[in-house]
Amino acid sequence: MSVIIFNILALTLFVKTCTPTPVVFNFSSCPELCYEHGTCNPETKRCECPLVRHGFDCSIPLSDPNSQCKAYSHNSKSCDSRDKTLCLNSCNGQGWCEGGFCHCKPGFYGADCSLSTGADGRPQLLAGQGYVPRREGPKIYVYELPPLTNTWVYIARVDRPLVQLLMQRLLSSGVRTANGDEADYFFIPFLIRTRTHAAGHLAATLHYVRQHWPWWERHGGGHRHLLVATGDLGRRGLPAELLPLSENCTFLTHWGLHASHAIGRWEASHRPGKDIVVPPLTNPDDIIVYSPLHPLIRRTHDRTKELFFAGRICGDNQKPVNGTCSDKRRDYSGNTRQQVSQHHWNRTHWTITTQSQGYVLGLSTHKFCLAPTGGGYGRRSVQALIMGCIPVTLTDGVHQPFEPELRWADFSVSVPERDIGRLHEVLGALSEARIETMQERIRCAAQHMYFSSTFGEVMGEDGRYDAFETLMEVLRMRRDYPGVDPSQYTALDKRFADFVNCQLEPTGGRVPLCTQNRLAKGDDLHHCRESYMQVPMRWMHMFYSWPGGAVCGKNPNVAKCPRSWL
């Protein structure tokens, strides 16, 4: 507890002592010892410290480093490890890694040492490495926050590293700008994973942003600012007192509940047109590595069965008896899983079970895959798409990833909760032609749901339409058509329509990705596991070993990463 209090006080001290950012920056504002023990940020005039040091020049070792390490989920080996795979973009060759913190060389700064100042004293990205901003699409400015808000946390323990992924890909894609005056959006790379961390740091972080940079106030108190909330309940996972502070921000979350749900005891969280539902990250050790959508798989299974679901059904985590759960925890899944089991547990050609040893086979041999909510957002709709199975979504008032920007009705079946008892009739009424059309559309839709430019391909895709690029397209539409209902985007903008239908030709050409698919075979295929033997493929943080993501291949220079879009 003392470590957490110390860090809150440290961030508060940063806030109280800061001054508005000058037009021209220099490194003389930091104490001399800062360059030996930490990284000087000339924008904030602060010396940023590794996890086990503190003080204005980072010269003071912590008296109890083990407690500090534990507070940020580190173990004794990782806390001050020099393993560069623990640091964002491997510090871009301009520093060394200390337990996730980039200790930058003098003259460089930032979470990944990507920033320096030019001859005019203004910030620049990847100096001398040939960084070229993307010509089209949104420009996004990334605030450089104190490391206690993001990089101090042990990356291997971050189960939903969307913040880190965005920090990585905004740079390697050319979307990031060092000039806030030309930016369309402003990314606040703060880790909001638990209420404790958010309560301890978010209010101070937002105040820190307001005090050091002019753009929060310039854009009406946080408009055009992006925050990530990957908890089960998205924005509503924040303590209630923090919601007004971030009211004007756009939240990127996995939870699309836009109407309160009485049975689930969920308050409306997602604000359509303001927030964006982003697909949950799926690591390349998930069942998706067996995706049958890859064109180089020589043999696939016929989908001769109807509906598949395997997973937790009852709120009390017990197995249902003859399809029926106890009344305990009816709020779990909004009572949707329980109802499906009760009405359809023994229906012919349906698989409704708490566990299955043939999970991949089930997803590959059924036409439909149930994609209910759980304790909050669910990942089964995305998983089903990548496995070529038509998702059946149930919970009322929940938008799926990139909905309503994407028309989910084209490749999924949404069933109101009142019709769960007649779910077999709803699915049975779909014609074979309709089912075939949805299955064909899945081949494109699935690309929008997976971060292949970060993790490598599983469907033979090259990443041009992946989840990151889809997010950039949605942000472009928000910029170009402010206030327009997102469900109208495809009707308003041909480029967007072509993009979501996977028909827009990339301006940068095709970028080959290594494959994570374990069934695909071909002479031209390069398997990620064989190409990057040192990379821990089983873990979500494996992409840290690739500066810029899988799209960069083995190129250590992020500025030179191939791009689908110029």
Per-residue pLDDT tens digits for 343-369: 999 999 999 999 988 999 999 999 999
CA distances from 258 to 275, 298, 380 (A): 10, 42, 19
What is the predicted pLDDT for the residue at 4? Answer: 39
What is the predicted pLDDT for the residue at 198? Answer: 67
What is the predicted pLDDT for the residue at 195? Answer: 57
Q: What is the mean pLDDT of residues 160-179?
A: 96
Statement: residue 6 has pLDDT above 60: no
pLDDT: which is higher, 20 or 69: 69
Q: What is the mean pLDDT of residues 228-234?
A: 93
What secondary structure, in 3-state letters, does 265-288 show? Answer: CECCCCCECCEEECCCCCCCCCHH
- Which 3 state secondary structure label does DSSP give 185? strand
Statement: residue 547 has pLDDT above 50: yes
Q: Sort 424 into a burial class: Cβ within 10 Å, 0-12 / 13-18 / 19+.
A: middle
Q: What is the mean pLDDT of residues 294-320?
A: 95
Tokens of 303: 């989908």
pLDDT: which is higher, 26 or 276: 276
Statement: residue 103 has pLDDT above 80: yes
List alpha helices for 156-214, DSSP H: 162-172, 195-212
DSSP character for 257? Answer: B
Q: Where are the beta strands (DSSP E) in 298-377?
A: 305-310, 350-353, 366-370
Residues 6 or more apart whose Cβ sits within 8 Å of residue 225: 185, 186, 187, 188, 209, 215, 216, 219, 248, 249, 250
Which of 10-14, 305-309, 542-546 has the least mean pLDDT? 10-14
Statement: residue 25 has pLDDT above 90: no
How far apart, in whole angstroms, are the C-alpha atoms of residue 303 and residue 366? 5
How far apart, in whole angstroms, are the C-alpha atoms of residue 296 and residue 518? 11
Statement: residue 56 has pLDDT above 70: yes
pLDDT bucket at 171, cuts 50 / 70 / 90: very high
Report the chain's mean pLDDT, rounded to a whole number: 92
Closest C-alpha to 415, from 340, 516, 480: 340
Q: CA-based angle 546:280:545, to the nearest 5? A: 10
List alpha helices for 297-366, DSSP H: 336-344, 359-365
Q: What is the mean pLDDT of residues 44-73?
A: 94
**How many CB atoms neighbour CB 31 within 10 A?**
16
Q: Which amino acid is at 99?
A: G
Percent of the chain scoring above 90 in pLDDT: 83
Pairing of the two strands 250-253 and 276-277: parallel
Q: What is the CA radius of gyration of the chain?
A: 24
Q: Which residues pair with 228 in a beta bridge?
A: 252
Q: What is the mean pLDDT of residues 376-389?
A: 96
CA distances from 527 to 289, 369, 456, 458, 489 (A): 11, 28, 9, 10, 37
Closest C-alpha to 308, from 255, 374, 387, 378: 387
Tokens of 5: 């209090």
Statement: residue 294 has pLDDT above 80: yes
Q: What is the mean pLDDT of residues 373-389?
A: 96
How far apart, in whole angstroms, are the C-alpha atoms of residue 49 and residue 58? 5
Residues 6 or more apart whose Cβ sits within 8 Å of residue 17: none
Q: What is the mean pLDDT of residues 94-107?
A: 96
The answer to whether 146 touches 207, Cβ cutoff 8 Å, is no
pTM for the structure as a whole: 0.94
pLDDT bucket at 17, cuts 50 / 70 / 90: very low
**How many CB atoms neighbour CB 396 within 10 A?**
17
Residues 6 or more apart whose Cβ sits within 8 Å of residue 420: 336, 339, 340, 343, 394
Sheet containing 390-393: which strands, arranged edge to edge? 350-353, 305-310, 366-370, 390-393, 413-414
Q: What is the mean pLDDT of residues 442-471?
A: 98
pLDDT bucket at 297, cuts 50 / 70 / 90: very high
Statement: residue 14 has pLDDT above 60: no
Which of 47-51, 295-299, 478-482 has the least mean pLDDT? 295-299
Helix (H) or strand (E) holding 222: none
Statement: residue 150 has pLDDT above 50: yes
The answer to whether 107 touches 39, Cβ cutoff 8 Å, is no
What is the predicted pLDDT for the residue at 544? Answer: 78
Residues 6 or more apart whose Cβ sits within 8 Å of residue 432: none
Dihedral over Cα of 327, 332, 335, 340: its sign: negative
pLDDT digits (tens, 9 = 90+) for 275-284: 999 999 988 8
pLDDT digits (tens, 9 = 90+) for 208-228: 999 999 999 999 999 999 999
Closest C-alpha to 392, from 377, 418, 411, 364: 411
Q: Which residues pair with 350 in a beta bridge?
A: 307
Which of 162-166, 258-262, 534-538 has the least mean pLDDT? 534-538
Residue in this structure with the two tokens 């494959």, named with its chain if needed: 515
What is the predicted pLDDT for the residue at 27? Answer: 66
Statement: residue 8 has pLDDT above 50: no
Q: Which residues pair with 277 in a beta bridge?
A: 253
Statement: residue 1 has pLDDT above 50: no
CA distances from 536 to 283, 400, 451 (A): 11, 30, 17
What is the predicted pLDDT for the residue at 11? Answer: 52
Statement: residue 537 has pLDDT above 90: no
